[in-house]
Structure 1
């Protein structure tokens, strides 16, 4: 118990220092209870249901005025029924992420951050009237958008289907086009549509305006503890089985999809498991990209002074220290990051501060050795940038399978 207390005190102290330092930078001076609450809310360390309720109210105002449509609108905006919603902590990539009920099952509602620089769908004529593209032109815009963002060439039948919301709104086609085009700017929404048939990401449940809902899954963090000193045998086996499922999931991303996908923001809470404990899915898709797109983003020729300047979060690259340009493309792979951040845990100054799924008193030395090799294949000083090999993956999978059965 002392270890837990020490760890919690250390984490609290680091959080306090971080918040205090930022408060000083913005000139707020002393740290008060009130300002701490405001800062924690602003940086999503904690949350309030007030904000999600505000977003739902705004969406429903648009729905009642006829500028938002979708399959979720009628249920979400029913004046005789107050929607049951609860906010989520630690979500900064979107304007809103919160849980709710759709039909008889739990969903997660997501509202993308507003994007101001995407191509406008309509234009104004000399009389200031909005002119919308023809159906053919709109379909071509979708084809171009998907090609640019995912290097996937859609046939026009699929693109035509994507141009419609699953909702009877033919007499509101202009509004439907606006809603569809706004949704298609969101990386996560596009991933959900493009890879739906592979069943590796949560199921898309519907939308209302730019708000959409996905299947809610249990995150794997419910099977993980900050301190594993008192793990039961059953808890350890469960985490080993989860780890095998994660390895299988990563293999699926590399070899079953049209092009390997890179997850550039890997966190414990971003992995979800189905209720029957048979399948892993990835929950946060804002930073999921095909290999070719990841290479383009990390090797785009932009200026750099150090390797980290070329990184796309967990998708790491190299800075050309002769030209000082990002020209390399992604250097590591999903497995390397998962071993480093999920299986081993949070490392600070070369020390594991918070253990991962596979680090604890029940971890055999041979497993730790493989995990360390997987997390840092080239034994680099500083941030690892080499990919974990197929051989490492096979050794790890074989050992974990044995541990889950023994």
Structure 2
């Protein structure tokens, strides 16, 4: 991406979507397609440097295997993945947790070259690995359709796919007219493709939310917790797949337990945004086990306002009723 940005001028700035506490989210166009550029901190110098680069000629001596090793350690640290007994714990997915999985994932991207890495490349990689959202998206890149795809990076900025994001200012959480989608239903005996109705699109989006919840609960080595659930943090692709686009507050089970395991005097002290546990008053300690679930919060903060009969009135018409279920 750097060559397209710095040499060929193929990356065009469009507008700033978010800028607070150093975090930047920018809409741009890359080779004619819309993208989102992100960075947790504003300046490259704000990130911790890779210590081994302080030694002369170290960068030239690092093999791709060395880079995979250092990247894997940093990812494990960033995501708070367990050091011990991780193969015996958690669900059966096998992805998003084990050391071998991480090595394979990074190996595909980093080892597939016949030369070493320059100091600039290593420094850029290290700044990206210090951004939890980037490491999260990269680790799940080939394991989940429910997270945004990383398209490239340059320096401390990384590019993700541009999607139709949700919004809280209207009951219609997603702007369905922005999604040019063709339905898969048969319109006649010849099986011609036709547009889905709005009702069918809403059903498919709701079912995709449920599929995402099951996927995050069961398909990885550790359960994945979403602690900041709101319409703006999700988007839909043209096939109506729901995608988590802001995962700064997404945590695998080991890190979730560390976050919740705090001193307390009441249950109110055991709430971490949308993730909560209970206070053991005898020990004055929060339980490390989350008491609510992704599904409960999505029902409360997404489905309830979206399908509220009070707001829809007579037009509600059992909006979640799906034929055949």
TM-score by shorter chain over 0.5: yes
3-state SS in 1 of match to 2:72? helix
Length-normalised TM-score, structure 1: 0.58
Q: CA deviation at 1:319?
A: 2.8
Residue number among 150, 157, 164 corresponding to 1:218 in the alignment: 164
Deviations 1:190-228 (A, max 9, x none): 122111122221211100001010011112449x83489
- Contact preservation (8 Å) 1:220, 1:269: yes
Q: CA deviation at 1:140?
A: 3.1
Q: CA deviation at 1:240?
A: 3.7
Distance in 2 (CA, whole Å) between partners of 1:147 and 1:319 is 29
Task: Provide closer, same or farther for how the CA distance between residues 171 and 257 of structure 1 changes in structure 2, counting only shifts above 3 A.
Answer: closer
Which one has a bigger Cα radius of gyration? 1
Asked whether 1:121 is paired with 2:81, we answer: no
- Contact preservation (8 Å) 1:240, 1:358: no
3-state SS in 2 of match to 1:196? coil
Asked whether 1:102 is paired with 2:30, we answer: yes
Length-normalised TM-score, structure 2: 0.71
- Contact preservation (8 Å) 1:88, 1:97: yes
Distance in 2 (CA, whole Å) between partners of 1:324 and 1:130 is 52
Aligned pairs for 1:278-289 within 5 A: 279-289=241-251
3-state SS in 1 of match to 2:275? coil
3-state SS in 2 of match to 1:99? strand
- Contact preservation (8 Å) 2:129, 2:135: yes
Asked whether 1:193 is paired with 2:132, we answer: no
Asked whether 1:306 is paired with 2:306, we answer: no
Deviations 1:288-315 (A, max 9, x none): 111232122212xx33333343333211
- Contact preservation (8 Å) 1:239, 1:358: no
Aligned pairs for 1:317-328 within 5 A: 317-328=277-288
The residue number in structure 2 matching 1:253 is 216
- Contact preservation (8 Å) 1:295, 1:330: yes
- Contact preservation (8 Å) 1:203, 1:214: yes
Q: CA deviation at 1:106?
A: 1.2
Which segment drifts farther, 149-158 or 248-257? 149-158
The answer to which structure has the higher helix fraction is: 1
Task: Provide closer, same or farther for how the CA distance between residues 317 and 83 of structure 1 changes in structure 2, counting only shifts above 3 A.
Answer: same
Asked whether 1:180 is paired with 2:125, we answer: yes
Task: Provide closer, same or farther for how the CA distance between residues 158 and 194 of structure 1 changes in structure 2, counting only shifts above 3 A.
Answer: same
- Contact preservation (8 Å) 1:266, 1:337: yes
Asked whether 1:335 is paired with 2:264, we answer: no
Asked whether 1:207 is paired with 2:153, we answer: yes
- Contact preservation (8 Å) 1:318, 1:327: yes
Q: How many residues align?
A: 277
The residue number in structure 2 matching 1:145 is 74
3-state SS in 2 of match to 1:100? strand
Aligned pairs for 1:7-406 within 5 A: 72-78=1-7, 83-89=12-18, 92=20, 95-113=23-41, 120-122=50-52, 124=54, 134-135=62-63, 138-148=67-77, 149-151=79-81, 152-155=97-100, 157-158=103-104, 161=107, 164=110, 170=115, 173-197=118-142, 198-221=144-167, 225-226=170-171, 235=198, 238-277=201-240, 279-299=241-261, 302-345=262-305, 356-359=306-309, 360-361=312-313, 362-363=315-316, 400-402=320-322
- Contact preservation (8 Å) 1:304, 1:326: yes
- Contact preservation (8 Å) 1:146, 1:154: no
Distance in 1 (CA, whole Å) between partners of 2:54 and 2:11 is 39
3-state SS in 2 of match to 1:332? coil
**5+ residue gaps in structure 1?**
1-71, 229-233, 346-355, 368-398
- Contact preservation (8 Å) 1:317, 1:332: yes
Distance in 2 (CA, whole Å) between partners of 1:227 and 1:208 is 36
Deviations 1:238-295 (A, max 9, x none): 4343222211221122223333211111110211111233x11111111111123212
Distance in 2 (CA, whole Å) between partners of 1:165 and 1:113 is 28
The Cα RMSD (Å) is: 3.6
Deviations 1:341-390 (A, max 9, x none): 11113xxxxxxxxxx345522346xx7xxxxxxxxxxxxxxxxxxxxxxx
- Contact preservation (8 Å) 2:23, 2:39: yes
